[in-house]
Chain A
Amino acid sequence: MQVPSVTDRLELSCDVLVVGGGTAGTMAAISAAEAGARVLVLEKAHVRHSGALAMGMDGVNNAVIPGSATPEEYVAEITRANDGIVNQRTIYQTASRGHDMIRRLERYGVKFEKDAHGQYAVRQVHRSGSYVLPMPEGRDIKKVLYRVLRERSMRQRVRIENRVMPVRVLTDAGRAVGVAGLHTRTGEFVTVTAGAVVLATGACGRLGLPASGYLYGTYENPTNAGDGYAMAYHAGAELSGIECFQINPLIKDYNGPACAYVANPFGGYQVNNRGERFVDCDYWSGQMMAEVAREIASARGPIYLKLTHLPEETISALEGILHSTERPTRGTFHAGRGHDYRSHDVEMHISEIGLCGGHSASGVWVDEHGATTVPGLYAAGDLACVPHNYMIGAFVFGDLAGTHAAGSFVTPASLPADQVAEAHALVYRPLANPDGLPQPQVEYKLRRMVNDYLAPPKTAAKLDIAVETFDRMRAEIAALGARTPHELMRCVEVTFIRDCAEMAARASLVRTESRWGLYHDRADLPHRNDDDWFCHLNLSRDAQGTMRFRKRQVAPYLVPVEGFTPPAAGVEEVIAVQPDRPGRSDQHTVAHGEPAPVPTSDGAVLAVLRLAEQQPSLEVLEPYLRDPDADVRRTALLTLTESAPEGTAPALVAALADDDPAVRAAAVAGLRELADILPADIGQSLRAYTASPDVTVRTLVVELLRVTGAGQRADFTAALVDQAAGVRTHAVRGLVRHRDTASLASAVTDPSREVRIAVAHALGDLADSAAIPAVVRLAADPEVLVRAAALRAAATLRCPEPLTAMAVAGLTDPTWQVREGAALGLAGAPASVAVPPLLDAAHDGNLDVRRAAVRVLGNWTARPEVAALLRAAADGDTDADVRAYARRALTAPAPGAPG
């Protein structure tokens, strides 16, 4: 391709520019548009499947739902997890706005798990705090956001440009006035004049090299190369906590989350090679990562996610989630090695290092509205330094930044020509040198050096070499060659990675202490030094191109946290380091073959796919829904689901009667996807299909009747005698809402084990004493898992006789599942009966049984024999969970019932 001249460019303008259409960016755009601004979204990939949520998400890591947790608890948790170095005002935003955000997303059609009573099913995954809200159907989340962005009212205000990648934020008199970048397909030069700029470009995921050596096999979406970090830095904004790296535990080699947050509520857990749980930390933190790294390196390594002990149904349910959302190729990976969750525990490892405000704390410094230190410039999502913000925090801060930007943008007069020219040179320099160094080799070397000298454990000597190496590599990066727009994109990304590597090395040198466990583990300075370093370390580039560091005081806490007191010291300038050397900007013209025009054909499938981009009405799609070809009907249903125009629900329901199973499956998937935005009267039309010969259709019908709340008691009692066990299981859950103990009790003889287990759980949930005979019957069931569930349900029924005797006997059952259920059930029994056998159970050979016994015994810490046992367990048990629960029971002021 030819180098375009600086003036030959696409010039765009808007009130609020959003860079990056991922999680935070889409929400920023929606909120800014709702606040009345003209919005432009520039996305380097395609908004539909970009960013961390490209294939959805399987849970909210940090939902603060009233009833499960308070904003204050959450703020304290994150303060502890981040060793005190937080601006609590920012964390408080996520804590106090997360619940509304979840409800807003639900209105848009995103599905979150609900319990049998229709409440958000928040799970306690860590030993402290209940913040995890599963999204077993979370694969559609990005699709939903994309649909909202393209609704008619939005489309008038929001313009989306895919495959456009800004490389620099332009400033005038210190204020952000726009960006410059390139179209990554055509190579066209692009500038935008904007009243405010929101950077939402995600983490720096391409910093460390994954152990596999594959450049794009990163934990983060590798599209996120650290673009926003470099752009904010060059615009003069402050960045903070860059020395607090992101490192995550993940499936070894696959390099994606395992995902313990999903597996844990199903009974999966992490163990070392001896089968012991080893993580002592109560919440996700750098400390926890240090424990993981230490265990892997010890005689007890490697480590595994243990699932093999779970029953078949649990494993298939887990597979249903793990192999369809977030990182759906997990299944492909395991299958490729001949591994299976039934026979192989999953080997885990720690990831390469990255920068990420949303997982650790390395990001652009922002206030509680997402504003950076540069007027008119905002940062949101993983890019912003709001520790542990994850997905829901990205949404909250996208909303805050978009709203604030829409309320305070200032339309600039013009763009600074010198900065436009510099950005142009940055982008097109490699074209001048088509035979220059290839990006894959340069990037590989750069990131290998990151692993060698920057990854913890860090030492000053290694970090010095890192700084020198990254400085030397400027010359190699200046010698990069490219021939196509795609290569230009990759080359400029390498400059972002280098910038991030230099910031990370220098910041790690400046903070002369260890903090945040593995994230900033300085082997040469192994101790935390609160006297000198209880502060943020911020860095920025001054007008001369010098990287400057300053200590920023930790603002007084909103929520006091024991063990952490921010000192009342002032801001201190610390250190200045070498200036940037501006790159050469000579350009040559290079010949290259233009991409061929894409041919068109008018196949009906193609026609429907094209319509998808235009938000078609039902009328337009109608003929395709009736097409004789099943492929066309199926594609039309997918398009209909994607755009969800007026009348979608009845059209999808009608397709449940299609002759072709694949078409019916598409209708089922569509209805499930849209469950949260179905009209209230959907129940009536669904009932016509309760006798469908297709079991997937019948399952869907009961499921929808249940989740939409449209189902009557009679619907579920009828479904309780369906031929298919899956339908009956949904019926059981539906009957909980109607508190129909009698019908549930009638199902204790159901031929399916899964249904009987569901009944046991349901009866436990209802806690109705009329259910006691049914639970007794289930507690004598021939199936182990049914007995276990029934004994566990006894707890809420106050464990009356004969359940007490059955539970006591159950503690010596040959199967650990029954022993665990029995221990949990005894929580409802009087102490005099429960304590003696539980003291024995606390020495059980199985770690889950011991954990259950210890948790239940925590109810009776006033008894000396219990306290003595807990003290011994807290010190001496081989299982970290048992130790931790014993410790917690001993320190808890007023023991509550175990959950």
Chain B
Amino acid sequence: MPLVPQRLDVPVTIDASRCIDGCTLCVDICPLDSLAIDPATNKAYMHVDECWYCGPCAARCPTSAVTVNMPYLLR
């Protein structure tokens, strides 16, 4: 089966300029394991569009780098 590259609007965005190099807190706690560290930049990002918009990632980030928006389909 061919892999089709598709653009998706993902709900959680991370301000890379604020994300601390080496921190993994939001990645550690997301119940859906939807966040990851980008090996190229060492910053957190949303690696799959799987989100309960529950918010601990944003609430716990020490530098307020995380924004949780509504998934587009619910907005």
Binding site for B on A (CB under 8 A): 45-46, 48-51, 54-55, 162-163, 184-185, 212-218, 221-223, 253-255, 327-329, 332-333, 336-337, 435-437, 481, 486, 489-490, 595-596, 598-601, 603, 605-606, 609, 631, 634-635, 638
Contacts and interface: CB of A to CB of B under 8 A. Distances in A.
Given A49-B31, A49-B56, A595-B39, A214 B71 contact: yes
A596 B39 contact: yes
16 contacts: A46-B28, A48-B29, A51-B31, A54-B31, A55-B56, A213-B73, A218-B52, A222-B32, A222-B52, A332-B69, A436-B1, A437-B1, A605-B23, A609-B23, A609-B62, A634-B62
A329 B31 contact: no
B50, B59, B74: residue with the most chain A Cβ atoms closer than 10 Å: B74
Interface residues of B, number: 37
Interface string B38-53: 0100100001101111
Given A336-B70, A601-B21, 12 more contacts: A46-B29, A212-B71, A214-B71, A221-B52, A328-B59, A329-B54, A329-B68, A332-B70, A336-B69, A489-B33, A598-B22, A609-B23
Contacts of B56: 48-49, 54-55
Contacts of B51: 216
Given A45-B32, A481-B1, A609-B62, A255 B74 contact: yes
A598 B37 contact: yes
A329 B73 contact: no
B24 interface: yes
Contacts of B68: 329, 332
A896 B69 CA distance: 49
A332 B59 CA distance: 14
Contact of B20 (A490, A595, A596, A606): A606
A223 B70 contact: no
A45 B1 contact: no
A54, A601, A638: residue with the most chain B Cβ atoms closer than 10 Å: A54
Nearest to A252: B74
Nearest to A489: B33
Nearest to A162: B28
Contacts of B75: 333, 336-337
Nearest to B40: A596
Nearest to A22: B31
Contacts of A55: 54-56, 59
B52 A216 contact: yes
Contacts of A46: 28-31
Nearest to B27: A598
Contacts of B29: 46, 48-49
Contacts of B63: 605, 631
A184 B59 CA distance: 24
B25 interface: yes
B22 A603 contact: yes
Contacts of B36: 595
Interface in B2-29: 20-25, 28-29
A603 B1 contact: no
Nearest to A163: B33
A877 B59 CA distance: 47
Secondary structure class of chain B's binding surface, majority of residues: loop
Which 10 pairs, one residue from A and one from B, show the smallest C-beta to C-beta distance? A596-B39, A601-B22, A45-B31, A49-B56, A214-B73, A435-B1, A329-B53, A49-B29, A212-B73, A600-B22
B68 to A, nearest CB: 6
Given A598-B22, A598-B37, A221 B54 contact: yes
B25, B55, B71: residue with the most chain A Cβ atoms closer than 10 Å: B55
A599 B22 contact: yes
Nearest to A224: B31
Contacts of A162: 28
B40 to A, nearest CB: 8
Interface of B: 1, 20-25, 28-33, 36-37, 39, 42, 47-48, 50-56, 59-60, 62-63, 68-71, 73-75
B28 to A, nearest CB: 6
B2 to A, nearest CB: 8
Contact of B55 (A216, A328, A605, A635): A328
B50 A185 contact: no
Contacts of A214: 71, 73-74
B61 to A, nearest CB: 10
Nearest to B50: A216
A329 B69 CA distance: 8
B70 to A, nearest CB: 5
B31 A223 contact: yes
Contact of A327 (B22, B31, B54, B71): B54
A213 B49 CA distance: 13
Contacts of B25: 609
Nearest to A597: B39
B50 A54 contact: no
B62 A631 contact: yes
B18 to A, nearest CB: 11
A221 B31 contact: yes
B31 A606 contact: no
A599 B21 CA distance: 7
B62 A486 contact: no
Nearest to B28: A46
A3 B36 CA distance: 22
Contacts of A603: 20-22
A565 to B, nearest CB: 43
B20 A601 contact: yes
A54 B54 contact: yes
Contacts of A634: 62
Nearest to A437: B1
B48, B52, B54, B73: residue with the most chain A Cβ atoms closer than 10 Å: B52
Nearest to B48: A486
Contacts of B31: 45-46, 49-51, 54, 221, 223
A426 B53 CA distance: 30
A48 B54 CA distance: 13
A450 to B, nearest CB: 18
Contacts of B47: 486
B74 A333 contact: yes
B21, B23, B37: residue with the most chain A Cβ atoms closer than 10 Å: B23
B43 to A, nearest CB: 11
A253 B74 contact: yes
A595 B31 CA distance: 19
A883 B47 CA distance: 53
Contacts of B37: 596, 598
A217 B70 CA distance: 10
A332, A436, A605: residue with the most chain B Cβ atoms closer than 10 Å: A332
B25 to A, nearest CB: 6
A578 to B, nearest CB: 30
Given A329-B70, A435-B1, A598 B55 contact: no
A181 to B, nearest CB: 15
A222 B50 CA distance: 9
B33 A45 contact: yes
A221 B51 CA distance: 10
Given A436-B1, A481-B1, A601-B20, A212 B74 contact: yes
Contacts of A489: 33
B24 A598 contact: yes
A221 B54 CA distance: 9
Nearest to A594: B39
B42 A599 contact: yes
A218 B33 CA distance: 16
A332 B30 CA distance: 19
Contacts of B33: 45, 163, 184-185, 486, 489
B50 A215 contact: yes
A158 to B, nearest CB: 19
A46 B28 CA distance: 7
Nearest to A214: B73
A350 B74 CA distance: 15
Contacts of B39: 595-596
Contacts of A606: 20, 22-23
A719 B15 CA distance: 43
Contacts of A215: 50
